[in-house]
Amino acid sequence: MPRTPLIVGNWKMHTGREEAVRLATAIAAGDVPGVELAVCPPFPWLVPVATALVGSTVGLGAQNCWTEESGAFTGEVSPTMLAELCRYVIVGHSERRRILGENDDAVRRKLTAALAAGLTPILCVGEDLDMREAGHATAFVGAQLESALSLRSDADVCRCVIAYEPIWAIGTGIAAQPADAEEMASEIRAVLGSLAGGNAGERIYILYGGSVSPANAAAILAGGNVDGALVGGASLKADSFLAIAAAAV
């Protein structure tokens, strides 16, 4: 089943307001035919970036959400609020798991809330270097997927985007080898097929994240199972982000 490549920029805790607007405007002006683009700016810049993207095909996403629709949760942002602006929300990024202590249960609850709000969750999964070297990467990623997606309806599973981001490649400049990314994406499809009926494994988008650059994007995206990329540092410059998008077609 053909899947249009999807390239998502995760700006993390970078950019000022004017910089964010300039970056979004440049990305919108450089729309790449045959590729879906989306950007995930910091929370304070969601509104100005949304304004900058009006009239373009570039999607908007948030980097995180809370588990509840509303309530006394100082400092948190509910998916219901985000749904007024955003299409996507990143859930379970490795930096939140590793630095902020989010466990699988928290990720599952956030995913549930995001789906209920009508957002498209970008569910991040991935192993650390010790897990990979011990030969447990596939089992570890499979357990993350099952924790987040088991007991859900087939329709809800198919609404998710999966981002495979090996922790050892995040922000290190060391990307997974294309064969490794393709192999893991294939394993992820097999797990998804077991969690949801029909051809769910073929319908769901799988992105690769981890030191993606214009130099390695074409090789990483060349396989049949990697549908796009969750781009970190290289998404902070419009030309490099658009070059990655161009490599997807």
Active-site residues, by number, are 93, 165
Strand pairing report for 120-125 and 161-164: parallel
By the 8 A CB rule, do 32 and 249 touch?
yes
Burial of 198 (0-12, 13-18, 19+ CB in 10 A): exposed
Question: Taking a C-beta distance cutoff of 8 angstroms, is the pair 82, 117 a contact?
Answer: yes
**Identity of the residue numbered 129:** L
H helices within the chain, ranges in order? 17-29, 46-52, 79-82, 94-99, 104-116, 129-133, 137-149, 154-158, 178-195, 200-203, 217-220, 238-247
End-to-end CA distance of the chain: 16
118: alpha, beta or left? (left if phi > 0; alpha if psi -120 to 50): left
The H or E element spanning position 60 is strand 59-62
